[in-house]
Amino acid sequence: MTYAIRAENLGKQYGSTRALDGVSFTARPGQVLGVLGPNGAGKTTAVRVLATLTRPDRGSAHVGGHDVVRQARQVRKVIGLTGQYAAVDEIITGFDNLLVIGRLLGLSREEARRRATELLEQFGLTDAARRAAGTYSGGMRRKLDLAASLIGRPQVLFLDEPTTGLDPAARDGLWEVIRGLVADGTTVLLTTQYLEEADQLADHIVVFDHGRVIAEGSPYELKTKIGGQVLEVWPVDERDRETVATIISEIAQCPATVEDRRVTVPVVEPGVLRAVVLRLDLADVAVAELALRRPSLDEVFLTLTGHRAAAAARSS
Amino acid sequence: MTTVPVAGARETLTLTRRSLLHLKTNPEEIIELVVQPIVIVLLFTFVFGGAIKGDWRDYLQFALPGMLVQATLFATMRLGTALGTDFKKGVYDRFRSLPIARFSPLTGAILGEMVRYLLSIVVLLIVGALLGFRIQTGAVETVAAVVVLLCFGFAMSWGSALLGLTVRAAESASEFAFLIILPLAFTGNLFVPTDTMPGWLQVWVNVNPVTSVADTMRGLLLGGEVARPLMWSAVWIAALTAVFAPLAIRRFRQKSG
Ligand SMILES: Nc1ncnc2c1ncn2[C@@H]1O[C@H](COP(=O)(O)OP(=O)(O)O)[C@@H](O)[C@H]1O
Ligand SMILES: [Mg+2]
């Protein structure tokens, strides 16, 4: 098996909405594939197709070497799924939720108990184990849901926006768990609206927009893909921002962005640095910091799609 | 390949157990299944009993078989809400992502309901006995009566499942069910003898499946005619199942993509 996940030209239409409009991507065993995109980009639909929950209208997909439509049962044997919304039975206890899944996966009563106890411990839910899952906080439910998807020790794990809605501490905890799974050889497909998350966890990123893959590569490649670099200038005196913006726009021949005390502009020619230093000196602007760096994924997304990913995510 | 049906049975039993775990953590269910039928027995026996039959003891003897039908009927409302909630909360997506038999979540849920009906029936028989209800027949007839009730509950639970899989909000499934079941229960001869009703109503009461089942209960528990009402009950149970089960299964199939 060369690929743990292979999607070819997947299409899925809901009414007039093209949720997936011919997407292809692959993940090698043990890789973390990040699917990055704003709300409505088609991430959940792609996960549901790969996890055998939704039939694609066209194209094909293989998970663990099995066809998701024709060999759904084999696919189900090797996957774990944590959907976008925690799928827990709120009336029964956290422990019983895990016990039921363990039994359905064919574990003996003893094994199922042991696995449930182990996972509750791993996710810090031991104290809440005997409480109805409906009394859990959002973060606890997500953890319980993730625990449920790990009972069968899946080879391929799908995580649909696993950290959306979590506080930073819970998010960091979950990132650690994901890194641990990857260290054990699990292939992970992770969807996210957060560029930072993809950057932190993924080996390979595919960027979705309107049901299409608009870019892909390693985080490094993606940042390189848009070519040039970003020049960042922090004047000592905030009142100099406009002057700085005018100067660097002129040199880079591209409008600069002013954010707080920071002024940035994309540059293609690294040689501009000299000119900038010279002109700022002539204009008597004291500079606290001046840097030439690779663009952030956020800026990459802006360049690729013409709209800001983070803004789209927050406004919904 | 021969292990698949066996595994399917095991998965169904696991999901039956999961359904029953709700009883452990949800006191509301105990109220619905146990307390509510008891309240109805006490209320009807002591408040209306004397007025209807002259003496509450005679009334209890007449009405308890009907109350068994009523308790079973009311208990069937839960399934629709339970299925609807599972779909809404994504619990069925989780089940479907597992390598299990496709219909085991549905069969497990229905078996879980059957256990609930049995619980409700047994509680009512015990409470009835404590109040003075006396079965006039033998153990075989009593078991037969319970089986007929369970079959009736089985048939009606398909209707409940269909409703729960069709309405948009899971919670409103039980409200819809109530609007159907309440008139059904009260336009039968569960609580009052048919001969006191106006002629036009008697026509409906005699057709109402609930009446056939109640007459079967009376025949089996108190003695008297069994064959005719049992036949009509069987016809109704078969007809309700034949209509609702395929529709519910189709909805289940559609919803689980
Ligand atoms: N079951 C469905 N019925 C109708 N439209 C849907 C359904 N699922 C998804 N869509 C639509 O498909 C598009 C992609 O949705 P989704 O895959 O959920 O995106 P994402 O997970 O990236 O936010 C959206 O426009 C969404 O409204
Ligand atoms: Mg989504």
- Are A167 and A281 found together in one domain? no
Q: Are residues A205 and A276 in the same domain?
A: no
Residue to mutate, A17, A190, A214, ligand 1, most ligand atoms under 8 Å from C-beta: A17
Is the beta carbon of A43 within 6 A of some atom in ligand 1? yes
Residue A18 shares a structural domain with residue A163:
yes
Q: Which value does ipTM take for this structure? A: 0.89
Residue A16 forms part of a structural domain: yes
Contacts A73 to B, Cβ<8 Å: 99
**Does residue A175 belong to any structural domain of this protein?**
yes
At B181 the pLDDT is: 86
Q: Is residue A84 domain-resident? A: yes
Is A281 a domain residue?
A: yes
Chain B residue nearest residue A135, CA to CA: B25
Side chain identity, residue A165: G
**Confidence band of A310 (pLDDT split at 50, 70, 90):** very low
How far is Cα B78 from Cα B91, in angstroms, rounded to an integer? 17
- Write down which residue in A223, A252, A279 finishes a domain: A223
Same domain, A212 and A169: yes
Task: State the residue range of the domain holding B131.
Answer: 4-256
CATH code for the domain in which residue A286 is found: 3.30.70.790
Residues A52 and A186 in one domain: yes
Answer yes or no: do A195 and A260 share one domain: no
Q: Which of B25, B94, B99 sits opposite A148 (nearest CB)?
A: B94
Q: Is residue A123 part of a domain?
A: no
Tally of domains within chain A:
2
* Phi, psi at A211, each rounded to 5°: 75, 10
Q: Is the pLDDT assigned to residue A162 strictly greater than 70?
A: yes
A150 to chain B, minimum CA–CA distance in Å?
Answer: 12
Instruction: From A195, A223, A251, give the residue that closes a domain.
Output: A223
Distance CA B142, CA B127 (A): 15
| Residue A309 reports pLDDT greater than 70 | no
Do A76 and A44 belong to one domain? yes
Give the helix ranges, DSSP H, for chain A. Answer: 43-50, 72-78, 94-104, 109-122, 138-150, 168-183, 195-201, 219-225, 241-252, 272-282, 297-305, 309-315
What CA–CA distance (Å, rounded) separates A46 from A83? 12
Closest CA of chain A from B96, distance in Å = 7
A115 in Cβ contact with A98 (< 8 Å) = yes
pLDDT for residue A223 = 72
Closest CA of chain B from A163, distance in Å: 18
Domain boundary residue, one of A223, A255, A279: A223
Residue A307: predicted pLDDT: 60
Do residues B226 and B77 make contact, with C-beta atoms less than 8 angstroms apart? Answer: no
Q: Which two tokens stand for residue A82?
A: 């944590």
- pLDDT exceeds 60 at position A308: no
* Residue nearest (by alpha carbon) to ligand 1 atom 4: A14
Is A112 part of any domain?
A: no
Range 50-109 of B in CB contact (< 8 A) with A: 86, 89-91, 93-100
pLDDT digits (tens, 9 = 90+) for A202-211: 999 999 999 9
Q: How far is the CA of B98 from the centre of ligand 2 (A)?
A: 21
Nearest by CB to residue B25, choosing from A80, A85, A93, is A93
Tell me the CATH number at A193: 3.40.50.300
**Which stretches of chain B score pLDDT less than 50?**
1-2
Contact status of B253 with chain A (Cβ, < 8 Å)? no
SS3 A233: strand
pLDDT value of position A259 = 83
- A184 burial class (0-12, 13-18, 19+ CB within 10 angstroms)? exposed
Q: pLDDT tens digits for B217-231?
A: 999 999 989 999 999
B29, B81, B89, B94: best to mutate for the A interface, most A CBs within 10 A = B94
- pTM given for the model: 0.85
Compare A226 and B42 and report the one with higher pLDDT: B42
Domain that holds residue A287: 228-294
Please give the Cα distance from B173 to B85 (Å, whole number).
10
pLDDT tens digit string along A248-296? 888 888 888 888 888 988 887 777 888 888 998 898 889 888 888 877 7
Residues A185 and A235 occupy one common structural domain: no
- Over pLDDT 70: what percentage of chain A? 94
| Domain membership flag for residue A279 | yes
Domain count, chain B: 1
Residue A304 in any domain: the answer is: no
